[in-house]
Structure 1
Amino acid sequence: MPSPSPFPFDRSRLAALRAREDATFVQRTSRSQVLRQEARQFMPQGVPMAWMISLNRFSPPFIHSASGAVFTDVDGNDYLDFNVADLSMTMGYGPAPIVEAVSRQVRQGAQFLLPTEDAVVVARLLAEQVGLPCWQFTLSASGANVEVMRIARHITGREKIVIFDGHYHGHIDETMVSQSEHGAVHQQLGLAKGSAANTLILPFNDLDALEQALARGDVALVLTEPALTNCTLVHPAPGYLEGMRRLTQQYGSLLCLDEAHTFQFAHGGLTGAWGLQTDFVVLGKGLGSGIAFALYGMSADIARHLERFTDSDIGPAG
């Protein structure tokens, strides 16, 4: 039998405290409660995205405005945002220089489906900071990871990808999976039955497990954060990322460092700050300061491949 807790407490008192706090929150967010019921006529669960319900223990507040590190709901309650919108608002809410720059660009034209001079400036700055010479732009890190996987499969002629326990790489069928005794299984409803067939999930910081997977010769891409951020924070063991780079090169797989979160950890992200070698880097989240914006960087060799096959989605194999 388990040992009794050295700090016993009355669970009934804890339940009563929680019930009281929940009731207080509902009372303080009465306008949000009304809006959610109205919204359910037009949006499932009354929210723009379903995960806004699944990530909250109770009905989420509807937000009116924000400034700096604080946002205010429609009932006038202020919240100090320690989550910074899952690292997408690391510059804070409404910073004057960003507001001015975005407003100016919207007046000139928000997008054109054509290149702009600013794109050259952004790509040049990222090349200097991160260390990869060439870049492509997308609307989300999820989209960037999808393109990276397709390019890796086109280059290698292989199908499988490797990801790691504790991962999150966006709303992608192949990565929204977890490990079970029978292999990779889906984490959400409605995913294609075969979408997990080519996904291998390995333990982080285990080079032996990675080498066993790569030695089979069927892995197109190893996709990882340089430090895991979706299962608290897991640092790479000394030499682990360098060993990963060595093994991917040895067995003919490509490597992508997903820095959608970790790019805010240091100037140039962890790739630039730690001098990491990789084939791809994916950026997103806070890079757009709340605007849908992401990129992926690539080596010169991969850039030459994309010069040869302009559209990697329909180009011939090989």
Structure 2
Amino acid sequence: MPAELIAGVRKDRLAAFAAREARRFAASRPVSATAMAKGAGHYLSGVPMHWMTDWPMPHLPLVAKAKGARLTDIDGYGIDDFCLGDTGSMFGHSPAPVAKAIRHQARRGLTYMLPSEAALDAGRLLTETFGDFRWQIATTATDANRFALRVARAVTGRPKVLVFNGCYHGTVDDTMVTLVDGQTVTRPGLMGQVTDLSQTAVCCEFNDLAGVEAALAKGDVAAILTEPVMTNSCMVLPAPGFLEGLRSLATKAGALLIIDETHTISTGRGGYTRVHGLNPDIFVVGKCVAGGMPTAVWGLSPAVADRYHTANANRPSGHSGMGTTLSANPMQFACLQATLAEVMTPENYARMEQGAARLAAGLSGAITRHHAPWHVVRVGARVEFICAPGPLHNGAEAALAHQPAVEGAVHVGLLNRGSLIAPFHNMMLVSPVTKKSQIDRLIASFDEILTDLFAQSQP
């Protein structure tokens, strides 16, 4: 009887590999294990942020320091970092211009609810980098998306946002919907959710323009909110003409188009929007935009900004429901200014592109050599290996391609060999300071792991 397979890997071989790698990790990091056992109990679920429990290691390593594209944990291991804070440190840890800006601003105050000269220059640099928008500053991309949706609803007078099945736009409640038998429903598993989110959102499949057109025809959609490439769900590329079709359909239906570039800023300077000439009504980006300082920005096209001013002038007095006290603080502006002017440069993006192409080619070569039914996707500096055949076309296919048992085992195996990738969907980033030797080590480790997983001999 043939052995049961998961993503082309024998189930028994996968279990043996995963157990062996887990033992190896636990045995190699006793200092972190002791420290976690002693101090983690003060946190809910033993972690300061609940998604840290998504890491597949037996216990978390504790980071002592990070520099460039390398971490060092308290057990003394140096780790090639391809996670880079899930894009927050995409340009490397503490880029020199950003670290200098932090030191300089720290002597002048951290927050005072008034702009600085750096704020004015940062506004100019945002427009120069991303295009002609009227900007606002937030602390996270979740907040930026939430505020953008408020504006869209205010200027259109419509209640719903159109999102794509499997999307991720931070923890914005309205986007937490999925498709079941063609109907929009609240995603299962949400904590404390009491609202029927189908009343405020409609869900379509990515790359399905006919579905989008049908949803917009009802006349109740204020905005389409999308990434130009689906990420955080096994990466899905847009079909030719899809993004242009969204622009056309939104305009025809009187809805706004919001492009969230929080992950796809990896594409190149100005993000996917600038590189591919997209034309959104509202633009959102966060994560690494200020070099790792918690910062996000959202911008309105001049025409939408005018509509916003009209809506704002005619609303009753009182709180608008947008804004947080610590957003737009001087430290954010200092880091924005430094990142946009000195870090987010064409030269750095060119280095990132070259390194990511090398990584993608190496991973693809290993997959081919081992006849694995997997594939590799790249968007600029962002690379993913997906444990299923490709390409993927929508969120439903991406959900089926996700193989947690295989991905977790490979992740721990890579970390045991000195490379850290993101715990979500095998995402890897190449920074401007990532060395060829680091890329080649990751490729060699990946090949070694596939040699074990896809070996023809009996375990």
Using the alignment, how far apart are the partners of 2:260 and 2:313 within structure 1?
Answer: 24
Change over 3 Å in CA distance of 1:11–1:149 after alignment to 2: closer
Aligned to 1:302: 304
Using the alignment, how far apart are the partners of 1:118 and 1:9 within structure 2?
Answer: 54
Query: Partner letter of residue 259 of structure 1?
Result: E
Q: Is residue 231 from structure 1 mapped to residue 240 from structure 2 by the alignment?
A: no
Shift of 1:275: 1.4
8 Å contact from structure 1 (residues 137, 296) kept in 2: yes
Tell me, what secondary structure is at the counterpart of 1:142?
Answer: helix
Query: Partner letter of residue 62 of structure 2?
Result: F
Shift of 1:9: 7.7
Change over 3 Å in CA distance of 1:188–1:60 after alignment to 2: farther
Using the alignment, how far apart are the partners of 1:76 and 1:222 within structure 2?
Answer: 47
8 Å contact from structure 1 (residues 184, 197) kept in 2: no
Aligned to 2:69: 69
Shift of 1:163: 0.6
Using the alignment, how far apart are the partners of 1:45 and 1:255 within structure 2?
Answer: 38
Taking structure 2 as the reference length, the TM-score comes to 0.64
Shift of 1:34: 2.1
Aligned to 2:91: 91
Aligned to 2:184: 183
Query: Partner letter of residue 75 of structure 1?
Result: D
Aligned to 1:119: 119
Change over 3 Å in CA distance of 1:17–1:242 after alignment to 2: closer
- Between 144-153 and 237-246, report the one with greater CA deviation: 237-246
Using the alignment, how far apart are the partners of 1:16 and 1:255 within structure 2?
Answer: 48
Deviations 1:177-197 (A, max 9, x none): 332235322242212333343
Shift of 1:302: 2.1
Taking structure 1 as the reference length, the TM-score comes to 0.90
Q: Percent identity?
A: 37
Aligned to 1:200: 202
Tell me, what secondary structure is at the counterpart of 1:288?
Answer: coil
8 Å contact from structure 1 (residues 135, 296) kept in 2: yes
Query: Partner letter of residue 95 of structure 1?
Result: P
Deviations 1:49-77 (A, max 9, x none): 01000243432211111111111111112
1:258 pairs, out of 260, 265, 272, with 260
- Between 49-58 and 249-258, report the one with greater CA deviation: 49-58
Using the alignment, how far apart are the partners of 2:243 and 2:116 within structure 1?
Answer: 35
Change over 3 Å in CA distance of 1:39–1:190 after alignment to 2: farther
Using the alignment, how far apart are the partners of 1:285 and 1:116 within structure 2?
Answer: 22
Aligned to 2:424: none
Using the alignment, how far apart are the partners of 1:10 and 1:129 within structure 2?
Answer: 48
Shift of 1:145: 0.3
Shift of 1:251: 0.8
Aligned to 2:163: 163
8 Å contact from structure 2 (residues 283, 300) kept in 1: yes
Using the alignment, how far apart are the partners of 1:118 and 1:259 within structure 2?
Answer: 23
Change over 3 Å in CA distance of 1:55–1:16 after alignment to 2: closer
Aligned to 1:283: 285
8 Å contact from structure 2 (residues 129, 269) kept in 1: yes
8 Å contact from structure 2 (residues 177, 184) kept in 1: no
Give 5+ residue unaligned stretches, structure 1.
none
Aligned to 1:110: 110
Change over 3 Å in CA distance of 1:85–1:243 after alignment to 2: same
Query: Partner letter of residue 260 of structure 1?
Result: T
Using the alignment, how far apart are the partners of 1:227 and 1:91 within structure 2?
Answer: 20
Deviations 1:50-107 (A, max 9, x none): 1000243432211111111111111112211111111110111132222111111122
8 Å contact from structure 2 (residues 136, 297) kept in 1: yes
Shift of 1:305: 3.3
Tell me, what secondary structure is at the counterpart of 1:285?
Answer: coil
Aligned to 2:42: 42
Aligned length: 315
Higher RCO structure, 1 or 2 (CA under 8 Å, sep 6+): 2
More helix by share: 2
Q: Is residue 211 from structure 1 mapped to residue 175 from structure 2 by the alignment?
A: no
Using the alignment, how far apart are the partners of 1:114 and 1:10 within structure 2?
Answer: 60
- Between 111-120 and 41-50, report the one with greater CA deviation: 111-120
Q: Is residue 24 from structure 1 mapped to residue 14 from structure 2 by the alignment?
A: no
Map 1:261-276 to 2 at 5 A: 261-276=263-278
Aligned to 1:142: 142
Give 5+ residue unaligned stretches, structure 2.
321-459
The runs of 4+ residues in structure 1 deviating greater than 4 Å are: 1-5, 8-14, 310-315
Shift of 1:40: 3.6
